[in-house]
Amino acid sequence: MKRFEGKVCVVTGGALGIGRCLTREFAKEGAKVAFIDINKRAGEENLSFIQERGGNVIFCHGDIGEEVTLNSFVETVINAYGKIDYLINNACISKNGILTGCSYDDFNYVLRVGVTAPYMLSKLFLPYFSIGGSIINIASTRAFMSQSDTESYSAAKGGILALTHALAVSLKGKVRVNSISPGWIDTGEYYDENYVPEYSDGDIKQHLVERVGNPMDIARVAMFLCHEENDFITGENITVDGGMTKLMIYSGDEGWDYKGE
| Structural domain count, the chain | 1
Question: How does pLDDT run across 97-140, given as a tens digit for each residue?
Answer: 999 999 999 999 999 999 999 999 999 999 999 999 999 999 99
**In this structure, is residue 258 part of a structural domain?**
no
Q: How many C-beta neighbours within 10 Å does residue 45 have?
A: 14
In a domain, 260, yes or no: no
Please tell me the pTM assigned to this model: 0.96
Is residue 68 a part of any domain in this protein? yes
Q: Does residue 257 belong to any structural domain of this protein?
A: no
d(CA 234, CA 225): 9
pLDDT at residue 261 tops 80: no
- Find the distance separating the first CA and the last CA of the chain, reported in whole Å: 57
Does 156 map to a domain?
Answer: yes
- Among 153, 190, 191, 250, which one carries the catalytic annotation? 153
Does residue 150 contact residue 35 with C-beta atoms inside 8 Å?
A: no
Find the radius of gyration of the CA atoms of the chain.
18
Decide if 253 is inside a domain.
no
CB of 125 closer than 8 Å to CB of 89: no
**Residue 62 in domain:** yes
Residue range 144-164, pLDDT digits in tens: 999 999 999 999 999 999 999
User: Is 261 part of any domain?
Assistant: no
29-87 pLDDT per residue, tens: 999 999 999 999 999 999 999 999 999 999 999 999 999 999 999 999 999 999 999 99
- Domain encompassing residue 157: 8-246
Residue 237 phi, psi (nearest 5): -120, 130
Is residue 251 very low, low, confident or very high in pLDDT (cuts 50, 70, 90)? confident
CA-angle at 108, arms to 107 and 109, nearest 5°: 90
Q: Is 153 a catalytic residue?
A: yes
Q: How confident is the model at residue 253 (pLDDT cuts 50, 70, 90)?
A: confident
Q: Note the pLDDT of residue 71.
A: 98
Q: What is the mean pLDDT of the chain?
A: 96
pLDDT tens readout for residues 233-245: 999 999 999 999 9
- What are the backbone dihedrals phi and psi of residue 147, each rounded to the nearest 5 degrees, phi first? -100, 165
For residue 142, give the CATH number of its domain.
3.40.50.720
